[in-house]
Every structure is written in C-alpha cells, then in structure tokens.
C-alpha cells in the first residue's frame, strides 16, 4: 500500500481555491522518497505581499515559469488512484489542487471519496499542533525551510512513519482519522449532527436539517458554492436525503 501514497505540498497566492492560484507544488513518493515533481508556476495574478511573507515567493521569481495548465495533465495522471499524504491538506492543499486541475480541464478529484491522509487531522485527533512542531515532536529536530513546498513535502514521509509507530496506527486508521467527524463537505457548510441528519452549517438555516429546506437547496445549487458542497447536495437529494 505504501507505494500508492504520495506526499504533496503547495504554496499559493492565498487561501481561496476559487480565486487564488498555486505558485509551487512538490510531490514525493512515500515508499522511496523519490521526488516526482517540483515545479514553480506563473499564477497569472499578482502574488500578494502577505502570501510572499509566508512562502517567500515573489512575482519576479515566477515571471518566466509555466502556468499550471502546462503541467496539469501529468499532475493529474501522477495522482490518479494515489493516496494523498499532506498536512492540513483536507481543507486547503487538496481543495486548492482540485480547483487548479479542474480549471485546466482535468477531472480533478472526487473530494467526497478521494483517499487521503491528513497528518494535521490525524495529529489533531490525538494531540494537535503545527507541521514544525510535529517534526520536532516526532523526528526530534527542527524543520528547515518551512513553508517551502519541497521541504514540507519531504518532511511528511518520515513524519507519517513516526506517527504510525507512536500511536500504533494502521493504514486504515490514518485514513479514518484524516476525515473529521460529521464532515459532509470540506468547507463545512454541511455537517452530520448527533442524530445522524445532514444539517446546514451556515446561514439562516444553520443547524437545521437540509431535507426540510428543498428551496434553499435549489438556491445553493444555482449559486457559487464549492464543487464538493454542490456534489454533496446532489447526492443527498438523489439518496432521499440520507448520507452517505
């Protein structure tokens, strides 16, 4: 199973998958540490100073780089049927990468079913903290070049092995702990309550069952919500409002 796991990390112009763009992406095989991809991309939009303050990438650094779409087909092929290994990736990196792939005309991921190990979520279920602290806690040293995609991605491979040893986790435990309890969509506009009903996580109908507001569902389906939120609403309606 280890040969199917690929560690990845990205840096972007911001935090919004619909508006922001990837400027750096690294993908590393978990079984042998081979770097499958490490590219910088021209995002097609200015890199805000606050983003540069995090990852250090400036407009001039990527001025002559290819746009993401030039490499999208091989990135999609590289990740098809792979298990994604990331850190806080469930709510950010995977969603951002899915959006970029789809913009480039690729199928992207099925965010409801893609197999994913999010070490932030795994750790949050067990202790909680940041990637730098995880490296110090489990590997006994600091993380040099933090917030550089390749350094972060390469740190994930020994980190997942150390976490497995520390907590006695099997592969399926990593997958289970990477999905937050009650999650329906990644932006948490929908969630499962204690009664097992899917309810709204926002707005005027917050905490109310989705099935009780079909008109609101229709409005959402015609609006600019994230793709996985819309997919979840369609599946709910097709399945008689049962989840999954």
Contact 89, 114 (CB under 8 A): no
The greatest distance separating any two alpha carbons of the chain, rounded to the nearest whole angstrom, comes to 54
Question: Regarding beta strands 5-12 and 83-86, do their DSSP bridges make them parallel or antiparallel, or are they unpaired?
Answer: parallel
pLDDT digits (tens, 9 = 90+) for 32-80: 999 999 999 999 999 999 899 889 999 999 999 999 999 999 999 999 9
CA 158/CA 215 separation, integer angstroms? 49
Closest CA relative to residue 123, chosen from 51, 188, 173: 173
Domain boundaries, the chain: 2-177, 190-238
Would the pTM of this model clear 0.85, i.e. be above it? Answer: no
Domain covering 2-177: architecture? 2-Layer Sandwich (3.30)
Rounded Cα gap, residues 20 and 16, in angstroms: 5
Between helix 119-126 and helix 131-139 the angle, nearest 10°, is 70
φ, ψ for residue 12, nearest 5 deg: -145, 180
Beta carbons within 10 angstroms of residue 197's beta carbon: 17
The one-digit pLDDT tens for each residue of the chain (244 residues) are 667 999 999 999 998 888 899 999 999 999 999 999 999 999 999 999 989 988 999 999 999 999 999 999 999 999 999 999 999 999 899 999 999 999 999 999 999 899 999 999 998 888 757 888 889 889 988 888 777 899 999 999 999 999 999 999 999 999 999 998 899 999 999 999 988 999 999 888 999 999 999 999 999 999 989 999 999 999 999 999 998 8
Nearest 5 degrees, angle CA 174-CA 179-CA 185? 155
CA separation for the pair 49, 73 (Å, rounded)? 30
Tell me if 55 sits within 8 A of 25, measured CB to CB. Answer: no
DSSP β-ladder status, 35-40 and 22-29: antiparallel
**What does DSSP assign to residue 30?**
T
Q: d(Cα 220, Cα 43) in Å, to the nearest integer?
A: 29
């Amino acid at each position: 199973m280890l040969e199917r796991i690929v560690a990845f990390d990205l840096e972007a112009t911001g935090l919004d998958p619909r508006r922001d763009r990837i400027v750096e992406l690294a993908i590393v095989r978990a079984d042998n540490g081979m770097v499958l991809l490490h590219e910088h991309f021209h995002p097609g939009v200015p890199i805000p100073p606050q983003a540069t303050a995090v990852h250090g990438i400036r407009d001039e650094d990527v001025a002559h780089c290819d746009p993401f779409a030039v490499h999208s087909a091989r990135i999609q092929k590289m990740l098809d049927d792979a298990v994604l290994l990331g850190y806080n990736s469930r709510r950010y990196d995977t969603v951002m990468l899915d959006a970029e792939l789809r913009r480039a005309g690729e199928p992207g991921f099925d965010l409801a079913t893609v197999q994913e190990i999010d070490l932030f979520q795994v750790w949050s279920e067990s202790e909680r903290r940041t990637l730098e602290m995880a490296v110090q806690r489990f590997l006994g040293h600091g993380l040099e070049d933090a917030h550089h995609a390749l350094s972060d991605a390469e740190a994930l491979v020994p980190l997942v092995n150390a976490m497995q040893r520390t907590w006695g986790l099997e592969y399926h435990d990593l997958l289970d702990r990477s999905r937050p309890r009650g999650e329906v969509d990644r932006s948490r506009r929908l969630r499962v309550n204690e009664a097992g009903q899917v309810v709204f996580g926002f707005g005027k109908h917050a905490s109310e069952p989705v099935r009780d507001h079909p008109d609101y569902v229709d409005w959402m389906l015609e609006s600019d919500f994230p793709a996985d939120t819309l997919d979840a609403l369609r599946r709910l309606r097709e399945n008689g409002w049962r989840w999954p």
